[in-house]
Structure 1
């Protein structure tokens, strides 16, 4: 079935919601990451990795600007989703990962997954609309 024909049969409110939802989801994840970067959680996140080579990024980028703080939060959020590979490469220490605060780890995982789901939804929606010839 042609997605364009199927999509156009939806009510306008549902079409708008389908196209805006990935932005709302992904930007919610970004907002959580910015919250972590601007709060006391950032200091506990940095201090939780004393033995890891990942901490060298902090020395290179610094922690004074919001952009560098957000980059550090997002890179570590991604690293904590699947840490096995980075532990094998020696980028992060296994003890640092196991000692990381669970509540902060959960918050960072929620942030990363919201961004991932939002971007996947966006790519799927754009791909379906492009393949159907709607645009």
Structure 2
């Protein structure tokens, strides 16, 4: 392995470590803010259909936080389909909204970075 391949491999490892940190942050939010999130979105049919996941252990809570952050980050998509209530989204607490939006964009960025690094590593450009 040459130096460039080692750097790309190290960056992939760093992204994976960041993904585990992201999971920890999402689980922390799930265990501390879940009641607030579900209380603010009680009129949204998609959120209430996913609400049973809160009793599904850590994996269910992670899925629920991911779903709620998707609803809050991209409300236009779900409002057009009638999955969420516009009033619920507008009344969602701003500090929690910022955290969920940051959480969603962070995971999108981490997956994109990992895909890019793997594509560069597999392409043979570094040899």
TM-score bracket, shorter-length normalisation: 0.7 to 0.9
Name the counterpart of 1:58.
Answer: 51
Q: Give how far 1:66 is off.
A: 2.1
Q: How much does 1:24 deviate?
A: 2.9
How far 1:119 moved relative to its partner? 0.9
- By how many angstroms is 1:62 displaced? 4.7
* CA apart distance, 1:17: 4.1
| Structure 1 alignment gaps of length 5 or more | none
Name which of structure 1's ranges 86-95 and 15-24 shifts more when overlaid on structure 2. 15-24
Q: Does residue 71 of the first structure (1) align with residue 63 of the second (2)?
A: yes
Matches of 1:123 and 1:21, distance apart in 2: 13
Query: What are the Cα deviations for residues 20-65 of structure 1, in whole angstroms up to 9, with x where unaligned?
Result: 22113323322221111111x1100010012110212214x35352
CA RMSD of aligned residues (A): 2.5
User: Structure 2 regions of 5+ residues with no counterpart?
Assistant: none
Structure with higher Rg: it is: 1
How many residue pairs match? The answer is 126
What SS does the corresponding residue of 2:55 show, helix, strand or coil?
coil
Moved more, 74-83 or 14-23: 14-23
Which residue in the other structure is 2:116 paired with?
Answer: 124
**Residue 97 of structure 1 corresponds to which residue in structure 2?**
89
State the 1:19 CA deviation: 2.4
Which has the bigger relative contact order, CA under 8 A and spacing at least 6?
Answer: 1
TM-score normalised by length of structure 2: 0.84
